[in-house]
Amino acid sequence: MNKRQIGNSDLHVSEIGLGCMSLGSDYNKAKEIIDRALDAGINYLDTADLYDFGENERIVGEAIKDRREEVILGTKVGNNFTPGQEGWTWDPSKKHIKSGVKDSLQRLGTDYIDLYQLHGGTIEDPIDETIEAFEELKKEGLIREYGISSIRPNVIREFVRNSSIVSVMMQYNLLDRRPEEEILNLLTENNISVLARGPMAKGMLSSNAEEKVNEKGKEGFLEYSYEELLAIEKKWRDYQSEDRTAEALALQYILYHSSVATAVFGASSVEQLEKNLTYLSATPITDQIFGEVQSMTKPLKYDKHR
pLDDT per position as a tens digit, 27-50? 999 999 999 999 999 999 999 998
Q: How confident is the model at residue 305 (pLDDT cuts 50, 70, 90)?
A: low
Catalytic residue among 27, 44, 51, 239: 51
Q: Are strands 260-266 and 44-46 parallel, antiparallel or unpaired?
A: unpaired
| C-alpha pair distances (Å), 221 with each of 224, 246, 294 | 5, 19, 17
Does the active-site annotation cover 51? yes
161, 166, 172, 174 alpha-carbon torsion, rounded to 10° = 100
Percent of the chain at pLDDT exceeding 70: 98
Rounded CA-CA distance 152/41 in Å is 32
Mean pLDDT of 169-191: 95
Q: Give residue 306's pLDDT.
A: 58
- Find the range with the poorest average confidence among 74-88, 119-133, 273-287: 74-88
Number of Cβ within 10 Å of residue 98's Cβ equals 17
* pTM (predicted TM-score): 0.94
Phi first, then psi: give them for residue 170, nearest 5 degrees: -155, 155
Please name the helix (run of DSSP H) or strand (run of DSSP E) that holds residue 145, with its range, or none.
Answer: strand 143-149
Q: Are strands 143-149 and 16-19 parallel, antiparallel or unpaired?
A: unpaired
Average pLDDT taken over every residue of the chain:
95
Q: How confident is the model at residue 181 (pLDDT cuts 50, 70, 90)?
A: confident
**pLDDT tops 90 at residue 151:** no
